[in-house]
Amino acid sequence: MEPHWLNNDELGLWMRLHGLSERLLSDVDSQLRRDAGLTRYEYYVLAMLSESPTRSRLMSELALATNGSLSRLSHAATKLEANGWLTRSHAAGQRRSVVATLTDEGWDKICESAPGHVAAVRERIFDHLTPEQAKTLYEALAPLFNGTCPR
Given strand 94-102, what is the order of strands in its sheet?
56-58, 94-102, 86-91
By the 8 A CB rule, do 106 and 54 touch? Answer: no
Phi, psi of 82 (to 5 degrees): -65, -30
Assign 60 a pLDDT band (cuts: 50, 70, 90): very high
Mean per-residue pLDDT of the chain: 93
Is pLDDT at 25 greater than 60 in this prediction? Answer: yes
The DSSP symbol for 92 reads T
Burial (0-12, 13-18, 19+ Cβ within 10 Å), 140? exposed
Q: Collapsing DSSP states into helix, strand and coil, what is residue 148?
A: coil
Instruction: Please tell me the predicted confidence (pLDDT) of residue 144.
Output: 86
Instruction: Please tell me the predicted confidence (pLDDT) of residue 73.
Output: 97
Instruction: Please tell me the predicted confidence (pLDDT) of residue 89.
Output: 94
User: What mean pLDDT is predicted for residues 60-73?
Assistant: 94
Which domains does the chain carry? 8-143 (1.10.10.10)
Please give the model's pTM, rounded to 2 decimal places. Answer: 0.87
For the stretch 32-49, pLDDT in tens is: 999 999 999 999 999 999
Instruction: Please tell me the predicted confidence (pLDDT) of residue 23.
Output: 92
For the stretch 97-144, pLDDT in tens is: 999 999 999 999 999 999 999 999 999 999 999 999 999 999 998 888
Assign 13 a pLDDT band (cuts: 50, 70, 90): very high
Is pLDDT at 146 greater than 80 in this prediction? Answer: no
Instruction: Please tell me the predicted confidence (pLDDT) of residue 6.
Output: 95
